[in-house]
Structure 1
């Protein structure tokens, strides 16, 4: 997915729609496939003037670009997209999840009661062990949204308030964890990302990167998990996978050439790595795009 600096970014009510808000509600709820399938599973960079969106990826994979920060999601996660944030998404065809759009006045109202503004900054929160809770919450929101019933508006606001509390607690937990760590830890993680960017094609070990940083492999893994929510190996593999996807989508290289360019010893090994991460072979992935 390409970044958008220097280009004109369209402003939409909902993606691809410049007409008025489609319902009298201050809420719009739909599934990710409903919104993305008509656009070949890609939502190109755009922004909303007065909407906040919560994108819940339940399963499948997604590339989420928000304000030039690209996150590759392979497990359940909730992405916060504040109003006016430039964002674009690309999804796998087996994607499952929801898009909840909230008008800014409603967000302001609920945030004032909470005395916190959890939807003011872009963030992607892994769901982990709370997936069952979020699945049930979004399913109930969708059910209430789709059919009129007594107390519908009150119920929707209550459910969305519960969701905002969940986001606020996750934001608080992340901030607390970051504040507990010395600045040195964040510096190590930043240096690790710079080293990885320079050498990911060389398939260097975690021990090698840790040695370059002057720390142990266990320390590097702990920093990655606490600051990035992933192990060092997951970060390395996601960087390789992202580049592989870019090559397959945006270049004319053969699968063997992509394998060679990314430093894999054999194309068969590359294909196994790619399928293990995405569920499909490189060839099938390219044909799906």
Structure 2
């Protein structure tokens, strides 16, 4: 999906329309194929100045881009598109689902009773085990929207309120899971640091540290890069280099003895390791201190 500059991104009431809001309601509901087939199944980047959209992909596949974040949807999922966010979609020809557009006054009115506004942040929520519930909810909204039954406005507000509660709960669950993941990551890194402090002289492979932590080597590397800015191997080498510098500066050990104390198989290997990490040979480093 091509990028568009902010100045070039059109602002539409509904995609492809610059006319006034097409309905007296504060919402608009249509199927995904209904509009996307008119544009060869691709909705180019645009934004809405005064409405929020909820796009529910029930079947087929879709590529959903909102503010530069792309979600590749192969299973039922609900995409939240906040007001003024740049977004564009690409759908498979067999796509099924609904697009619900809500005017900001309605969003603010219904969201006021919730703890936090659930439609203020762009997010894509997999339907997962809630698929039947979302299917029934969107089908009910679409049916109620297309008819003129007594109590229609109240029923639509009730159905949309239920949908906003669902989004709000999913948003909170996602935030909680992210926080837990960050906490677990920090815990793993702290445990790795403690293990490294005890065993850095043994030149253990990363896989052994990861196994003791109960995670994969790739996961350990990813955690180290994300939370410490370096790979696990870089942290191991830094700890060895630090101990080597301490020994060269604060002890009278020979370079061969320092090499042995740090678990290197031969002094030549230790010297190459030290020069690669510090830019100086062990002897030159000791002489300059």
TM-score bin (small chain): 0.5 to 0.7
Q: 1:149 to 1:219 in 2, by over 3 A?
A: farther
Partner of 1:157: 157
Partner of 1:274: none
Correspondence 1:129-278 to 2 at 5 A:
129-182=129-182, 185=185, 216-217=215-216, 220=219
Whether the aligned pair in 1 keeps the contact of 2:137 and 2:163 (CA below 8 Å) is yes
Distance 1:173 1:62 in 2: 24
Give a deviation string over 1:246-272, Cα, whole Å, max 9, x none. Answer: xxxxxxxxxxxxxxxxxxxxxxxxxxx
Partner of 2:96: 96
Partner of 1:66: 66
* SS, match of residue 64 in structure 1: strand
1:55 lines up with 2:55 in the alignment: yes
Q: 1:24 to 1:129 in 2, by over 3 A?
A: same
Partner of 1:276: none
In structure 1, stretches of 5+ residues that fail to align are 189-209, 224-289
Whether the aligned pair in 2 keeps the contact of 1:63 and 1:91 (CA below 8 Å) is yes
Segments ≥4 residues shifted beyond 3 Å:
183-186, 213-221
Partner of 1:79: 79
In structure 2, stretches of 5+ residues that fail to align are 189-205, 223-289
Q: Calculate the aligned-residue CA RMSD, in Å.
A: 2.6
Give a deviation string over 1:104-160, Cα, whole Å, max 9, x none. Answer: 000000010123200001000011011000000000000000010100000000000
Whether the aligned pair in 1 keeps the contact of 2:210 and 2:217 (CA below 8 Å) is no
Distance 1:171 1:115 in 2: 12
Larger radius of gyration: 2
Give a deviation string over 1:74-123, Cα, whole Å, max 9, x none. Answer: 11100000000000000000000000000000000001012320000100
Distance 1:167 1:6 in 2: 28
Partner of 2:16: 16
Distance 2:67 2:210 in 1: 32
Whether the aligned pair in 2 keeps the contact of 1:52 and 1:81 (CA below 8 Å) is yes
